[in-house]
Each structure stands twice: as structure tokens, then as C-alpha cells.
Amino acid sequence: MLQNVIIGQYYPASSPLHRMDSRSKLIAAFFYLFIVFLANNWVTYGLLIAFTAVTITLSKVPMRFLYKGLKPILILVVFTLFLHVFLTKEGDLLYKAGFLEIYEGGIIQGVFIAMRLLLLVLMTSLLTLTTTPIDITDGLEHLLGPLKKWKLPVHEFALMMSISLRFIPTLLQETEKIMKAQMARGADFTSGPIKERARAFVPLLVPLFVSSFKRAEELALAMEARGYRGGEGRTRLRALEWHKRDSFALILLLLLTVLLFVLRS
């Protein structure tokens, strides 16, 4: 049921992408978020698609797995596509039926925006799919380290992140469990009018909230019992290591950026 949601999930494999330092991956993913917006014609979009495709291949995460996980987001992508196709009135008129008017500019715009969304989601999913939550947190803490000077609680922030990432699968499991229990009592989550269906989720959400609060409390207690008191003076078991391939990946990304600047119209 919910096993297809892959947001925040880690896909165990051994690939060049898995072996990269989490810091370089974080920087790259963040950087990528910006350069996606540089693309504005077919050539630049082609370039980005090629780059993303190569990255996906390198990650060894099977396409089918990605596709399954992204299905819910695909609906959003398709929705954006159609919104633009029907509402943008630019370029030549291609088709007219009653009040429906489709323009060339609309199609192009729609495809571009949908592409942009898809690329963004793909790349960010790849980050979590190829990096364990612990690595992400460590990397983030490192990268945000300088902000400590301004008394920002960087360690706590990173910890919060890793806890939420860590508990996404737990929460999904719990959801499935309670859903099943209520379905066994005749609850129906999948049919009926919208209003009733929304009400059908109360028996699911209340137990989820209750158990989440309980779990948070237990976790806090367990951490305190083991002497946790924040990041002050805390050492690490696993040190992050920056390799040549990390520098190489970032240089590649810079090259891509330059190319995008040159080729965009």
C-alpha cells in the first residue's frame, strides 16, 4: 500500500554515487536546484536531462524503483503540464474546440515546467536514495558549521533532520498497521464521496498522532538516559572523507553550469 513511497528512503547498493562524500552530494544537489532554472530552451533542457540520466545510471538505483516511488509526484507533474497547455496563450494557435484553445507556446511552456519539476524531484530523491540519513546529517552539520559563530543551533538542527528522516519509514509502517486494523473493522479508505473519505481518515490520524507523541517522548527519555546533551564536545565514530571523485563531481557540475549559461537563450 504505502510501501511505494520512497521519499527519504535509502536504497542500499554499491555505486560511485553511494561512495561519494555526503558533503559533496549535498552541495551538488543544492547547486542543482538553482541551475535547473537556468535552462530555457531545448538544448539546455536536453543537457540537464542527459546529466540527470547519467547520474541515475551511476547510482545503480533501478528505473522501475524510481518510477514506482515517484508515481504520486507524477500526478502533480502531469497536472502542471496540462495547466500550462490550456492556459498559456502564446505563439501559434494549434487547435481550437469551443472555448478550448491550445497554443504552441503553451505546449512548450508546459513541457519545460513539467521537466523542471521532474528533474528537481529526481535529483533530490537520488540524494536520499544514495546517502544514509546519518551521512546526510553529518554532512549537513559540517556544511552549516560556520553558522555556529552566530549561535545558531546547527547540531540540534541536524539532529532534528536525521530524526525525522529516520522516522519516516517507521511512521509509514505504523500507518499501514493502523490502516489495516481499521479496515479489519470495516473502515473504507478508498471509496465514497470526498467528504466521507476525509472523515474516514480520522480513525487513522488520531492513533498516529497519539503514537508519534508517545514515541517522541520515549526517544527523548532514552537519549537523556544515555547521557545525550547536545553537540558540545561530541566526537565522531565515522569521519567524513573528501576524495578526488568529490572534487571531480563538483567540477563537472560547474562545467555544466557554464555550458548552461552559454547555451541558454
Partner 1 sequence: MQGTPFERRALHDISLDINDGTFLALIGHTGSGKSTLIQHLNGLLKPSSGSIKMGSTVLEAGGKKQDLKPLRKKAGIVFQYPEHQLFEETVEKDIMFGPRNFGVSEEKAKKTAAKVIEMVGLPQTVLEKSPFDLSGGQMRRVAIAGVLAMNPEVLILDEPTAGLDPSGRVEIMELFYNLHKSKSLTTILVTHSMEDASRYADEIAVMHKGELYLHGKPADIFNQREALQQAGLDVPETVQFLMRWNERSGQNLSLSNFTIEELAKQVSQSLKKRGS
Which parts of this chain interact with partner 1 (CB under 8 A)?
3-4, 11-13, 62, 64-65, 68, 174, 177-178, 180-188, 202-204, 206-207, 210-211
Helical ranges in 20-149 per DSSP H: 22-35, 42-59, 63-87, 104-130, 133-144
Contact criterion met (CB below 8 Å) for 44 and 111? no
Residue 196 beta carbon to partner 1: minimum distance, rounded to whole angstroms: 12
C-alpha to C-alpha distance for 213 and 168, rounded to whole angstroms: 14
Closest CB to partner 1 among residues 68, 142: 68
Q: How, if at all, do strands 100-103 and 93-97 pair?
A: antiparallel
Closest CB to partner 1 among residues 38, 187: 187
Closest CB to partner 1 among residues 82, 209: 209
Closest CB to partner 1 among residues 3, 41: 3
Nearest to 164, CA basis, from 204, 212, 131: 212
Residue 197 beta carbon to partner 1: minimum distance, rounded to whole angstroms: 14
Residue 175 beta carbon to partner 1: minimum distance, rounded to whole angstroms: 11
What is the sign, positive or negative, of the torsion defined by CA atoms of 251, 256, 259, 260? negative
Closest CB to partner 1 among residues 210, 254: 210
Contact criterion met (CB below 8 Å) for 138 and 236? yes
Residue 14 beta carbon to partner 1: minimum distance, rounded to whole angstroms: 11
Closest CB to partner 1 among residues 206, 219: 206
C-alpha to C-alpha distance for 161 and 164, rounded to whole angstroms: 5
Residue 180 beta carbon to partner 1: minimum distance, rounded to whole angstroms: 5
Residue 112 beta carbon to partner 1: minimum distance, rounded to whole angstroms: 32
Contact criterion met (CB below 8 Å) for 22 and 131? yes
Burial 113-133 (b: 16+ CB within 10 A, else e): bbbbbbbbbbbebbbbbbbbb
